[in-house]
């Protein structure tokens, strides 16, 4: 399982593209927003967390369809499935999700402080956004695994994956932005939405891989 | 340890690909599945490996005490696709499969020695020729010990010498008590292999 994470991270870094495209897209969304909103700095600072979260969510959706597709195309997926008596398929999917998040999700979290500056956000708001993204974006990957597994045999399933999983990511988005708001405003609570966010990630960390494993097993029939 | 198939049938869409296939292979026995394109050789292997549900019948491993297990739990599957990552070197590819599976066997060096590809160990997989890629994929069979080898067109792309090497690899595996089922359209030269021949009609 560790071997699979190491291999996928190595592939993600070496093959290039995947991680960088996500970051560039994130950057594009966030830099375009101020032009659309106008030069009101206070407004920008207030809705900054929402813009960052929306950008990160859409950027995470971008590379998801590649999660199983490459392994499907070169035959490796067959071997991962046949090895299910040694490594349960859900665990294999979990490992692939972890690797995928390390390559595509974590970089988004890391560039968030930089993008926060572009939106005139103060240090607390930037820190809170980065923290909630760190806790919340894995959930998007785990949900995405189920969608990617369903669409793996479709030649251009990218958009389909996004459409399938978008509704399930909405709660993550809501609690993520709510927790960030709670950290910066005195009237809103922080801990409740934040623990909900963490719970969502843990919940999908279990459900996503199991659902994806089920879809991958059924794929062949 | 025996591999038993009984009354196997498979369906592709609404059409029966084959039906009524039955055989038993005990340790040390191999079987060559031959037949024209589209006759159902690959389908049979995918059914045996558990990727496809048979329309009828079943195929299982039966041990000496009569216990029944999935073939997949004991099998290597070599599909026409090589299951190797072009961006990684041959060593990295083989080391991954070795670490991912249980019952670790030969190291990547030793496995490549068997297929005569030792010199290319640090070459990215994408830089290999078609035949070399196939040999690297065959080397994967050595890095984990699994008694049953399900081989789908194992010799495609191999030259005459590599084919001879491959025949000796299969013969060695059988001598060591393994079970081999190979689907080929060219017969492989291993003495004592059973034969299952598909015709266009779909049956033996």
pLDDT of residue B204: 47
pLDDT at residue A182 greater than cutoff 50: yes
Does the distance separating the beta carbons of A74 and B92 come in below 8 Å? no
Full set of structural domains in chain B with CATH: 2-184 (3.40.50.300)
Most confident of A125-139, B79-93, B120-134: A125-139
C-alpha span between B130 and B6 (Å, rounded): 36
For residue A103, the distance in angstroms to the closest alpha carbon of chain B comes to 16
Q: Check residues A19 and A171 and name the one with the higher pLDDT.
A: A171
Mean of per-residue pLDDT scores for chain A: 89
Average pLDDT over all residues of chain B: 87
For chain A, the residues whose C-beta falls within 8 A of a C-beta of chain B are: 1-4, 6-7, 10-11, 14-15, 73-76, 78-87, 220-221
Tell me what the mean pLDDT of segment B6-16 comes to.
85
Distance from CA of B83 to the nearest CA of A (A): 4
User: Confidence class of residue B200 from pLDDT cuts 50, 70 and 90?
Assistant: low
8 Å CB contact of A3 and B96: yes
> Could you tell me if B140 and B95 are in contact, meaning their C-beta atoms sit under 8 angstroms apart?
no
Residue A196 belongs to what domain range? 2-219
Mean pLDDT of all residues in B69-89: 89
The pTM (predicted TM-score) of the whole model is 0.90
Contact A85 B70 (CB under 8 A): yes
The Cα–Cα gap between B185 and B192 comes to 18
What is the rounded distance in angstroms from the CA atom of residue A106 to the CA atom of residue A169? 17
Residue B4 has pLDDT above 60, yes or no: yes
Shortest alpha-carbon distance between residue A168 and chain B (Å)? 30
Q: Cβ of B77 and A78 within 8 Å?
A: yes
Does the pLDDT at position B203 exceed 60?
A: no
Q: Phi first, then psi: what are they for B201, rounded to 5°?
A: -65, -25
C-beta atoms surrounding B74 within 10 Å: 19
Residue B199 has pLDDT above 80, yes or no: no
Interface ipTM above 0.90: no
Contacts across the A-B interface (CB distance below 8 Å): 68
Mean pLDDT over residues A33-62, rounded? 90
Q: Kindly determine whether residue A74 and residue B87, on different chains, have CB atoms separated by under 8 Å.
A: no
d(CA B60, nearest CA chain A) in Å? 14
Structural domains in chain A (count): 1
Mean per-residue pLDDT, B26-47: 87
Work out the average pLDDT over B43-58. Answer: 88
- Residue B84 and residue A65: Cα distance in Å, rounded? 20
Nearest to B79 among A7, A78, A84 (CB): A78
Closest partner CB to B83 (pick from A2, A15, A76):
A76
> Vertex A87, ends A82 and A92: CA angle to 5°?
90
Contacts of B102 in chain A (CB under 8 A): 86
pLDDT beyond 70 at A126: yes
pLDDT of residue B67: 82
How far B82 CA sits from the closest chain A CA (Å)? 6
Whole-angstrom distance, CA of residue B135 vs CA of residue A10 = 24
Q: Hunting for tokens 């590819």 — which residue is that?
A: B93
| Nearest beta carbon to residue B87 from set A15, A73, A84 | A15
- Stretch B40-66: mean pLDDT: 87
Q: pLDDT tens-digit profile of A58-104?
A: 999 888 888 888 888 888 998 998 888 888 999 999 999 999 999 99
């Amino acid at each position: 399982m560790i071997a699979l994470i190491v291999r996928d991270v190595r592939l993600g870094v070496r093959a290039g593209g995947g991680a960088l495209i996500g970051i560039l897209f994130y950057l594009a969304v966030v830099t375009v927003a101020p032009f659309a909103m106008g030069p009101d700095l206070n407004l920008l600072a207030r809705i900054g967390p929402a813009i960052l979260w929306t950008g990160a969510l859409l950027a995470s959706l971008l590379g998801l369809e590649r999660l199983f597709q490459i392994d499907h195309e070169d035959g490796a997926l067959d071997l991962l499935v046949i090895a299910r008596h040694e490594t349960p398929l859900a665990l294999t999917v979990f490992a692939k999700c972890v690797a995928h998040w390390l390559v595509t999700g974590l970089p988004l979290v890391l560039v968030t402080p930089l993008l926060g500056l572009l939106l005139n956000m103060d240090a607390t708001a930037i820190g809170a956004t980065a923290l909630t993204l760190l806790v919340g974006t894995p959930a998007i990957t785990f949900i995405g695994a189920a969608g990617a597994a369903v669409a793996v045999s479709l030649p251009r399933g990218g958009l389909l994956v996004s459409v399938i999983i978008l509704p399930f990511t909405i709660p993550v988005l809501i609690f993520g932005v709510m927790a960030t708001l709670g950290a910066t405003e005195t009237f809103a609570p922080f801990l409740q939405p934040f623990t909900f966010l963490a719970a969502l990630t843990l919940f999908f960390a279990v459900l996503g891989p199991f659902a994806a494993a089920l879809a991958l097993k059924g794929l062949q029939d | 340890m025996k591999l038993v198939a009984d009354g196997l049938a498979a369906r592709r869409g609404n059409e029966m690909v084959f039906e009524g296939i039955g055989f038993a292979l005990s340790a040390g026995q191999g079987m060559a599945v031959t037949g024209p394109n589209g006759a159902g050789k690959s389908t049979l292997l995918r059914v045996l490996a558990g990727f496809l549900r048979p329309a009828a019948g079943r195929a299982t491993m039966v041990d000496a005490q009569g216990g029944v297990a999935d073939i997949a739990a004991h099998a290597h599957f070599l599909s026409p696709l090589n299951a190797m990552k072009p961006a990684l070197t041959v060593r990295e590819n083989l080391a991954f499969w070795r670490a991912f599976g249980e019952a670790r066997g030969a190291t990547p060096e030793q496995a490549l020695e068997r297929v005569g590809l030792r010199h290319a160990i640090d070459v990215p997989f994408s830089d290999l020729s078609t035949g070399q890629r196939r040999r690297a994929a065959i080397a994967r069979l050595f890095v984990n010990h699994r008694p049953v080898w399900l081989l789908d067109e194992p010799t495609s792309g191999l030259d005459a010498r590599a084919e001879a090497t491959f025949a000796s690899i299969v013969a060695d595996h059988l001598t060591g008590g393994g079970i081999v089922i190979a689907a080929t359209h060219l017969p492989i030269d291993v003495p004592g292999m059973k034969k299952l021949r598909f015709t266009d009609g779909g049956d033996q």
